[in-house]
Each structure stands twice: as C-alpha cells, then as structure tokens.
C-alpha cells in the first residue's frame, strides 16, 4: 500500500463549559455527537467527538471541555487559528439566519480563493468558517430536525495555521506529507493533497511580527492528519525522526493510534490511523450515548461519572 497522508483526520480544541459545548455543536451546528469519553491523560475531563454519522476521518472535531473559569486562549503565531467546514452552495443565508436566532457572533459572507465563506465564533471564542467549496463535496451529511442535508456541513474543508514564517512548516507539508502549493493570495498560502478529495487543504498565513498565541479556552490544541494503518503511521515516524524532530512513540487512543510532534512553526501535529474506528465499543445507533472509558479507568467509573457534569 502506498504510504500517504490522507488529509485531515480530526482537529482537537479546548472549551469551557461541557454542556454549552455539547449544545452548540450538536444542536446549533447540527453535528452528530459520536463519542463521549474522557481525556486519557486527565480522566476528570471529558473528551467529546463530533462528526458525521459514523465519525469519518475528515469530519471529526473533538474537544477537551475544561470547565468554566479557565484561562482564555489568545490567537497568534504557532497555532491553528481557523477551522473551515464545507457546506453546500447557497446555504450561507440559512446559516446567517440560524446564527441570528441563536445569538452566534458572525461576520458577513466574504470570499477567498474564489469561495464564499462565513466566519463565526463558538461560545468559547473558537474561530470557524463555513465555506461553499468550489469543488464538489459529495460526502453524506448528518441531518437533524433543524439542519437538513441541503445546508448541513459535510466535514472539514481546511484548517488555517498562522506562522511567523511558513518556510519550515511548508517543507513538512510538501516534502514529508505530500502536499503541494496550489494558490496564494498576499500572505495566505494554500496547500493541498491529491491523495483524497475532501479535508485536503491546509492554509498557511505568514505574519512575521505576530506574537505567539496561547493555547487555552477557545483555541485549537492540535491538528491530526490521517493515515491508513499502523504500518504507514510508523513509516512517517521514521521520516519525521530523521529530520531531527522530537516525536512520541505510538499511543493507543482507543479509536485510532497516534503519534505527536511539534512542527517547526510551533503547531502540534498528530498522525492518526483509520483503525480501529469509533464502533469498536458502540454500535452505529449507540454512538455518543454512553460514557466510554479506556480499560485503565474502568475500575474508577463510579468516581469519574460522579465528577463529570451531565450533558444529555
């Protein structure tokens, strides 16, 4: 099998109140809540997963909701600063009206790289965009009573990284990950992979004098790229280690296997496998309905459940 990065796997961000986060993404944005588990490094904190019906790679937005009163993040260099979702052409009017109804902060639609987009903030200040992609996106959307297929999100379109210099990060994307520069507009450089049709775009924004950002509430924690299986995962580990970058051993995240490294521009990157998937411990119908714990925490279930706030 060819060793390729298959676009985005998931993006993980930090939130405050768990119930507010759950309500916004499952109800206002209409994403499917596909997994309710805990932060494997901090079992007193939830780890939420939102995506399409089955949790397909390239649709998965995850959160560590750390609770009310946590420090607010600050956008800046060395971090992912915008998350772009693909939506059908002509749907932005629906979303503007919906954001008005739910008091969501948003900007009027604009255009970049020939695509209309609508910028908005989630309740914790995380910046997202709904983008009418100029290429066909035939991914099957998750529907709710209020958000139907003709307007629903399809999954990720792109993610934007803000950097003081794009050179070293671009080198990782092109020389290791197989991306190519496809468009440029002033200081925004668009890279894409042809290994997949969707969730294939990374935008690099170069701001030489931008202060370093701070990852906390309302900011992206890491960006995860997709690989097919464990063998390919370890192939990329060798390539990254050969560059002299520090990279973790393989880590079992229950639903995928991961490696983490900080790319030269400062953004935390993850490589994540497709296997074993989100239905390893729940059926398709049950996804997101039960608190799922990794084996090492199962003996402490009662205490963990008592500590976590009820969300649904």
- The answer to whether residue 241 sits within a structural domain is yes
Do residues 56 and 155 make contact, with C-beta atoms less than 8 angstroms apart? yes
Do residues 134 and 115 make contact, with C-beta atoms less than 8 angstroms apart? yes
Do residues 116 and 109 make contact, with C-beta atoms less than 8 angstroms apart? yes
Q: Percentage of the chain surpassing pLDDT 90?
A: 94
Q: Percentage of the chain surpassing pLDDT 70?
A: 100
State pLDDT tens for residues 104-115: 999 999 999 999
State pLDDT tens for residues 66-104: 988 899 999 999 999 999 999 999 999 999 999 999 999
Please state, in angstroms and rounded to a whole number, the distance separating the CA atoms of residues 23 and 33.
Answer: 10
- The answer to whether residue 155 sits within a structural domain is yes
Query: Which domain covers residue 140, as residue numbers?
Result: 8-307
Q: Is the pLDDT of residue 1 over 70?
A: no
Question: What pLDDT shows up at residue 246?
Answer: 97
User: Count of domains in the chain?
Assistant: 1
Q: Over range 138-158, report the average pLDDT.
A: 97
Q: What is the mean pLDDT of the chain?
A: 96
DSSP-assigned letter for residue 124: T
- The answer to whether residue 100 sits within a structural domain is yes
Q: β-strands 201-206, 188-192: how paired? A: antiparallel
Q: Over range 141-154, report the average pLDDT.
A: 97
State pLDDT tens for residues 218-270: 999 999 999 999 999 999 999 999 999 999 999 999 999 999 999 999 999 99
Confidence band, pLDDT 50/70/90 cuts, at residue 41:
confident
* Paired tokens of 293: 């714990």
Extract long-range pairs of 94-102: CB within 8 Å, 24+ residues apart: 94/151, 95/120, 95/130, 95/151, 98/28, 98/146, 98/147, 102/28
- The answer to whether residue 2 sits within a structural domain is no
Do residues 263 and 223 make contact, with C-beta atoms less than 8 angstroms apart? no
- The answer to whether residue 312 sits within a structural domain is no
* CATH number, position 64: 3.10.180.10
Question: What pLDDT shows up at residue 127?
Answer: 98
Q: Over range 47-74, report the average pLDDT.
A: 95
Question: What pLDDT shows up at residue 67?
Answer: 87
Question: What pLDDT shows up at residue 24?
Answer: 98
Q: Is the pLDDT of residue 157 over 80?
A: yes
- The answer to whether residue 1 sits within a structural domain is no
Q: What is the chain's Cα-based Rg?
A: 19
DSSP-assigned letter for residue 297: G
pTM of the model: 0.97
Question: What pLDDT shows up at residue 42?
Answer: 87
Confidence band, pLDDT 50/70/90 cuts, at residue 2:
confident
Please state, in angstroms and rounded to a whole number, the distance separating the CA atoms of residues 21 and 122.
Answer: 8
């Amino acid at each position: 099998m060819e060793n390729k990065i298959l676009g985005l796997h998931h993006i993980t961000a930090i939130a405050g109140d768990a119930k507010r986060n759950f309500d916004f993404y499952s109800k206002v944005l209409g994403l499917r809540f596909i997994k309710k588990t805990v932060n494997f490094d901090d079992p007193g904190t939830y780890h939420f997963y939102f995506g399409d019906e089955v949790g397909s790679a390239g649709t998965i937005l995850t959160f560590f909701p750390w609770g009310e009163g946590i420090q607010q993040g600050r956008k800046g260099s060395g971090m992912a600063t915008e998350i772009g979702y693909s939506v059908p052409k002509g749907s932005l009017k629906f979303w503007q009206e919906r954001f008005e109804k739910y008091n969501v902060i948003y900007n009027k639609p604009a255009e970049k790289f020939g695509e209309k987009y609508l910028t908005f903030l989630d309740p914790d200040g995380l910046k997202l965009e709904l983008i009418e992609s100029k290429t066909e996106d035939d991914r099957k959307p998750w529907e709710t009573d209020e958000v139907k297929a003709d307007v629903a999100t399809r999954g990720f379109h792109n993610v934007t990284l803000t950097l003081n210099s794009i050179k070293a990060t671009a080198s990782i994307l092109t020389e290791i990950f197989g991306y190519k520069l496809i468009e440029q507009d002033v200081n925004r450089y668009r890279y894409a992979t042809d290994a997949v049709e969707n969730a294939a775009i990374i935008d690099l924004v170069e701001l030489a004098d931008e202060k370093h950002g701070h990852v906390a509430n309302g900011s992206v924690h890491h960006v995860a790229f997709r690989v097919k299986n464990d063998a390919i995962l370890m192939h990329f580990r060798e390539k990254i280690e050969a560059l002299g970058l520090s990279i973790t051993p393989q880590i079992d995240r229950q639903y995928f296997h991961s490696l983490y490294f900080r790319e030269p521009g400062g953004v935390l990157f993850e490589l994540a496998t497709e296997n074993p998937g989100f239905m390893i411990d729940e059926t398709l119908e049950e996804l997101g309905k039960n608190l799922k714990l990794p084996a090492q925490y199962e003996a402490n279930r009662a205490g963990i459940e008592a500590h976590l706030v009820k969300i649904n």
